[in-house]
Structure 1
Amino acid sequence: MQVKIKKIICALVLLALTVTLAACSDVTKRADNTDTWSKIEKRGKVVIGLDDSFVPMGFRQKDGRLVGFDVELARAVFKRLDLKVSFQTIDWSMKETELRNGTIDMIWNGYTKTKAREKNATFSHTYLNDEQYLVVKNNSHITNPRGMKGKILGVQTGSSGYQAYTDYPNLLKKYVGSTVQYDSYNNAFLDLNAKRIQGLLIDSVYANYYIAHQKDASSYRKIKVGYPKEEFAVGMRKGDETLEKKVNRELQRMAQDGSLKKLAQKWFGSSKEVAYQDLLK
């Protein structure tokens, strides 16, 4: 009797797994082949997924208001398209899944182009350039990647920095003793300041903004590791060709009329990060 029950349970588990795999396949197929522009237009708004602790791209002030470079840029683009923007806070490690499932329409939050991500999303034109820094405390006396030998490094889960860390092990990984993964850089900086970790691998735009707004900015050291430069772009479902074309067109117009430069100067203090070579070609 027990053997029969076990067989029935195994059959049910197998059936559930088969149904789940089929459902996942259908979701991916729809995301890759369905243009949802008419649905978005009828709805009157687009839903953008973001990590709302990523300064200065998209983050919440003390009063809870959502601000940042990407937040303002997205609102400006869709104002030109006569659409409202709804920002949805998501688990950054699940961003592509949220996109495919239709929970969000776009990923717009310092989203770096990578080959791995291209399997699950399509990208707009590059609008900003970025790179990865190793951030340490000055009093740690760490001045290069070798200084992290045997020490603890902080990285963000699902980030392009963590991808670079694993893809190019000879630049930093071979020295590091262990890593701690964080959902947000805010908690990582808290641990760095408390010396629970000795280094933090982080986007340059975040590092520059965070350090510049600290009481003692000189207590931090930013070290270039040597990873390839990164490109920020908007992530969309592969089937959303109309949305992609419209976003690209407005990004190009904003680069041409100077509004993108003005926005960059507001949040970064300069416009050198703007990828004019991609937007104005």
Structure 2
Amino acid sequence: MKKIIAVLCGLMACLSMASAAKKGNKFVLGLDDSFPPMGYRDADNNIVGYDIDLAKEVTKRLGLELVCQPIDWSAKEMELKTGKIDCIWNGFTMTEERQKKMAFTSAYLENAQVVVVRADSGIKTLADLNGKKVGVQAGSSAQDALEEAKDFKASLKEVVEFQENVTALNDLEIKSIDGVVMDLIVANYCIQQGKKDFVVLEETLSPEKYGIAFSKKNRKLRDSVQQTLEAMAKDGILAEITKKWFGSDISKIGK
């Protein structure tokens, strides 16, 4: 009888593992869904973007189902830590502090934190923003860069926090603020696609690189994604996707 119970228990355990494996077939990508061109919603409310196209190809090759999960960007690290998402893949800057807490892939794009202003504002340098109001996305790398640029921040009249860059740029357009600190890649894309009368100041607050972040407990998945991106670089698909979004191959994988 004990043997029969043991066998039944074993079978139940196997079924449970199979069920868990099936549930684990999903690849949950955490993102800010208002961060073009990396990840955002199109006119039909579908989540699209450069990172999304990369993730679709990666998950297809790994035999995983991609789930794009919008998250509160200011709580992104907690979402990853608690296992609600498998990775943060959304133009995520690799800082020294973040690399202590998370397992990153190698950098796949280079970026910088810059300030966007209205073309007719007369603002040409960071110094010209002395006494002005500047917007920034809460919990973003732009906010981190602004905090580190202590003299520049101290020169400002006010720093206004926004939930996303789109709203900040709208406030810039209606002259509620005088500038927006944000990612260079995103700034250029928004200006080009939105045909806004904005310019990016030449001075940057900080150079940086984008990487994909995983929990340190999930290094195997990180390694699988890294290896797949490298394979995509070799067979030309990575370059193809990058050219689609940026006009040229500015990707860094395999270079």
Q: Same fold (TM over 0.5)?
A: yes
CA distance in 1, matches of 2:76, 2:203: 26
Bigger strand fraction: 2
Identity of aligned residues (%): 39
CA distance in 2, matches of 1:50, 1:82: 21
1:133 aligns with 2:114: yes
- Counterpart in the other structure of 2:248: 270
Counterpart contact for 1:132–1:225, Cα < 8 Å? no
CA distance in 2, matches of 1:41, 1:242: 18
Counterpart contact for 1:40–1:46, Cα < 8 Å? no
Aligned residues: 237
CA distance in 2, matches of 1:214, 1:86: 28
Q: For 1:179, which of 124, 143, 159 is the aligned residue?
A: 159
- Counterpart in the other structure of 2:232: 254
Q: CA RMSD in A?
A: 1.6
Equivalent position amino acid for 1:233 in 2: G
Q: 1:121 to 1:192 in 2, by over 3 A?
A: same
Pairing 1:1-281 to 2, within 5 Å after superposition: 43-170=24-151, 172-215=152-195, 217=196, 219-272=197-250, 274-275=251-252, 279-280=253-254
CA distance in 1, matches of 2:158, 2:20: 46
Q: Deviations over 1:24-73 (max 9, x none)?
A: xxxxxxxxxxxxxx966752111111000000000001211111000010
CA distance in 1, matches of 2:202, 2:153: 14
Give every structure 1 segment of 4 or more consecutive aligned residues whose post-TM-superposition deviation is greater than 6 Å: none
CA distance in 2, matches of 1:40, 1:162: 39
In structure 2, the residue corresponding to 1:108 is in which secondary structure? Answer: strand
CA distance in 1, matches of 2:20, 2:106: 23
Unmatched tracts of structure 2, length 5 or more: 1-18
User: Could you state the TM-score of these two structures normalised by the residue count of structure 1?
Assistant: 0.81
In structure 1, the residue corresponding to 2:249 is in which secondary structure? Answer: coil
Tell me how far 1:226 sits from its aligned partner.
3.2
CA distance in 2, matches of 1:132, 1:168: 11
Q: 1:203 to 1:50 in 2, by over 3 A?
A: same
Tell me how far 1:209 sits from its aligned partner.
0.8
